[in-house]
Amino acid sequence: MSASRTSEALGGAAALRSLIAEGGIIMAPGAADPLTARLVEQAGFPAVYMTGFGATASRLGMPDLGLMTQTEMCDHARNMTRAVSIPVIADADTGYGGPSNIERTVHEYIRAGVAALHLEDQASPKRCGQLAGIRLIDAEDNMHRLACALDARGDSDLIVIGRTDALPAAGIDEAVRRAALYRDAGVDLVFVDGVKLIAEVETIARRVEGPKIISIVDGNETTALTANELRAMGFSIVLYALSTLFSAVKASRDTLDELRRAGTPKARADAMVTYAQFAELVDLAGHQKRADRYEG
């Protein structure tokens, strides 16, 4: 059964749990918006990652500095889950406040239909895990926050991921220590973010026990690692959070530069999809069929 049909049959979270249980590695490219999520699904990937970096860029045109509200992120997640049938793994930042905020965030994400969410241990205002200046909250305090999220999910299949941003802020030893604490708190997977070096990936693979996630960020040497190599290291999920966003920005910029230079985008035609291909991506034919049937 295909990933999309499995997701439809089981529900996103149950489908993602089934994929994890199979023991392979789940490649989840990032999507900044529902349209890109459709591209990820049509390319045959089993899951898609709703990146907070991309959501902030697409909705606000701003950097990932904790500017998106819980309401905006939930709305973004809801639109994405409606656009695809594969599981959506969603960034939930720090949970957007105290225990009651975390509980509401979990409930809203469940209603939005996401398969998994990750909560991080940064102090507010949070920022992208690749940036300098990250401030951490106490690890034991964050264990309580994760326990709140686990209780809040109730009997739903939602996968809760404990993310630590300690690597760039406090070093690999503290990141490994926190990952172990969060695993012991009961999260389904742990996620050490801010990885830039292959040596860091190897250390996480060797020292962090249990199901775990790795994020491969374009521009870092970690892009040399293949999904099969990461699977052999013991990772369950690999996120490619920014690959589609950075590719789209580069392609759009090149087209705009050519349009400005030549007064026509004709030279960029081979770099674009056709109108027909775009119509297929957004299922225009399905909407037209519906209109033909019900609009008289």
- The residues assigned a catalytic role are 128
Single-letter amino acid, residue 2:
S
Give the containing element (helix H, strand E) for 48: strand 48-50
Q: Comparing C-alpha atoms, which of 165, 102, 105, 86 is closest to residue 130?
A: 165
Q: What size, in residues, is the chain?
A: 296
Q: Comparing C-alpha atoms, which of 24, 7, 85, 88 is closest to residue 55?
A: 88
Rounded Cα–Cα distance for residues 34 and 76 (Å)? 8
The token pair that represents 13 in the structure block:
């979270």
Which residue bears the tokens 């392979």?
24
Pairing of strands 212-215, 159-164: unpaired
Rounded Cα–Cα distance for residues 219 and 241 (Å)? 12
Rounded Cα–Cα distance for residues 158 and 273 (Å)? 36
Rounded Cα–Cα distance for residues 108 and 171 (Å)? 33
